[in-house]
Amino acid sequence: MLLEDTFKMRSFKRSLPVYFFLSLLAQWFIHEGLAKEPSAVTAGMAVPKRIVSLAPSVTETLFALGAGNRLVGVTTYCDYPPPAQKIPKIGDFVNPSIEAVLAQQPDLVIGVPEGTDQEKVRLMERLGLRVLVVSVSGLSGILSSIKLIAGALGKEEAGEKLVLKIQTQMNHVRKRIEGARRRRVLMVVGFRPLVAVGKGNFIDELITLAGGENIAAAAPQPWPHLPVEYVVAKAPQIIIEAGMGSEREESRKRWADLKSIPAVKEGSIYSYPSDKILRPGPRAGEALEELARLIHPECFPHSNRKHIEESGCESSKP
Where does this chain bind another protein (CB under 8 A)? 77, 92, 190, 192-194, 198, 216, 218-221, 224-230, 232-235, 243-245, 249-250, 253-254, 257-261, 265, 275
Closest approach of Cβ 259 to another protein, in Å? 4
Rounded CA separation 281/124 (Å): 23
CB of 283 to another protein, least distance (A): 18
The answer to whether the beta carbons of residues 134 and 145 sit under 8 Å apart is: yes
175-179: long-range pairs with CB below 8 Å, 24+: 176/292, 176/296, 176/299, 176/300, 177/210, 177/211, 177/292, 177/295, 177/296, 177/299
CB neighbour burial string for 79-115, b if at least 16 within 10 angstroms, e if fewer: bbbeebeebeebbebeebebeebbebebbbbbbbeeb
Question: What is the Cα–Cα distance from 224 to 206, expressed in whole angstroms?
Answer: 17
Instruction: State the maximum Cα–Cα separation within the chain, in Å, rounded to a whole number.
Output: 81
Closer by beta carbon to another protein, 230 or else 300 = 230
Cβ of residue 165: shortest distance to another protein, in angstroms?
A: 28
Least distance between another protein and beta carbon 285 (Å): 24
Q: Are the C-beta atoms of residues 195 and 189 closer than 8 Å to each other?
A: yes
- Give me the least distance between CB of 77 and another protein, in Å please: 7
Nearer to another protein, 37 or 92 (CB): 92
Nearest distance from residue 105's CB to another protein, in Å?
26
- At 271 the three-state DSSP class reads strand
Decide whether 155 or 276 has the Cβ nearer to another protein: 276
* Kind of pairing between the strands at 195-196 and 183-190: antiparallel
The distance of closest approach from Cβ of residue 7 to another protein in the complex, given in angstroms and rounded to an integer, is 19
CA-CA distance, 273 to 153, in Å (whole number)? 33
Nearer to another protein, 92 or 117 (CB): 92
Minimum CB distance to another protein smaller for 41 or for 194: 194
- Give the separation between CA 202 and CA 139, rounded to whole angstroms: 6
Q: How far apart are CA 15 and CA 254, in angstroms?
A: 58
Three-state DSSP class for residue 236: coil
Q: Which is nearer to another protein, 176 or 252 (CB)?
A: 252
Q: Which C-beta is closer to another protein: that of 88 or that of 193? A: 193
Cβ-based nearer residue to another protein, 172 or 199: 199
Q: Which long-range contacts (CB under 8 A, 24 or more apart) does 79-87 make?
A: 79/274, 80/56, 80/276, 80/279, 84/59, 84/60
CA distance 151 to 153: 5
Closest CB 183 distance from another protein, rounded Å: 17
